[in-house]
Structure 1
């Protein structure tokens, strides 16, 4: 392990390699406290929100195709990108809940904020628990193929075993360790 001053760094150059609708790929050059320099490719994005939602009996999850991994029916918590400038993460969560599963939640609690892959990605994911539901539908206008899945809370281990999605695993493992707020 190196000393504190050797671990400092500053960005001394940056160039955009690709600018997309969802992600941007940049190559940044850094100078470190020991005088060394290195180039790093970094994927920049706006971040995301995921919501672990329940009705007291069931978790409300989604199944949807995830083309990036070749998975036609990925089991996940409702989620979406922070793609509206200045939008508060909890407001994004509220919007995604109505768009993806057709419910609004009266009660919300933060679970965690984490970074899924700090070696290449600057994304921050905000996770919330939500409960005390009422029907509310909002169309996202996006081309999404989402199936709502009711999963018994009593089979939390089954839900954990059935998913490969990182945000969903973090939320489900949190629920297993801490219980679900709003559930007697």
Structure 2
């Protein structure tokens, strides 16, 4: 196993309402020194839910994504509130964004996002046994709720409005897990 580089210095070089940009001076085991920059994000984990109405039907949303300046098809997601675990946050986000609560939640994987530039993590969660239930959300406009068949996942991925890598990974993982557990028989 490789030895981690030594952090010689970290320095905040810019700050916004949500992010900081941090400069890191590193020394690698071979003596080479480099300066890296990374987004310094709050250590608040997030949750992304793959809500299943039945063995093949996933509930998704279309929402505006400022980073790409467009509307994308994605999954319900959001940050964990203080004191929440991933199960509570997953059920809250489901109720806020798609109008369901889940009787069963199972963590698929914790993903890192652009780990070369930031330390953010998100829990991908599979949810089933959905029941109508809603909570007020914090979105600036109503989200478009839609459904898609996992058996037609490749057609979804051909669309120009489904490009988020963590969503794509979670959908494939959910499809595989559902084939193993068969919650609908």
TM band (smaller chain): 0.7 to 0.9
Pairwise CA distance, 1:125: 1.7
Matched, 1:34 2:34: no
- With over 3 angstroms needed to count, the CA separation of the structure-2 counterparts of 1:138 and 1:122, relative to structure 1, is same
Q: Return the alpha-carbon distance in structure 2 between the equivalents of residues 145 and 44 of structure 1.
A: 30
Q: Which residue of 1 aligns with 2:50?
A: 52
Q: Which residue of 1 aligns with 2:169?
A: 170
Pairwise CA distance, 1:86: 4.7
1:15-164 superposed matches below 5 A: 15-45=11-41, 46-56=44-54, 57-71=56-70, 73-82=71-80, 84-162=81-159, 163-164=162-163
Residue deviations 1:62-111, cap 9 Å, x none?
A: 0111132122x3011111123x3453223221211111111110101111
The answer to whether the Cα contact below 8 Å between 2:76 and 2:94 also exists between their aligned partners in 1 is yes
Root-mean-square deviation (CA, aligned residues, Å) is 2.1
Pairwise CA distance, 1:152: 2.8
User: What TM-score results when the alignment is normalised by the length of structure 1?
Assistant: 0.84
Gaps of 5+ in 1: none
Matched, 1:179 2:178: yes
- Secondary structure of 1:168's match? helix
The answer to whether the Cα contact below 8 Å between 1:16 and 1:26 also exists between their aligned partners in 2 is yes
Residues paired across the two proteins, number: 178
- Secondary structure of 2:158's match? helix
- Secondary structure of 1:140's match? coil
The answer to whether the Cα contact below 8 Å between 1:15 and 1:26 also exists between their aligned partners in 2 is yes
Question: Which residue of 9, 16, 31 corresponds with 1:13?
Answer: 9
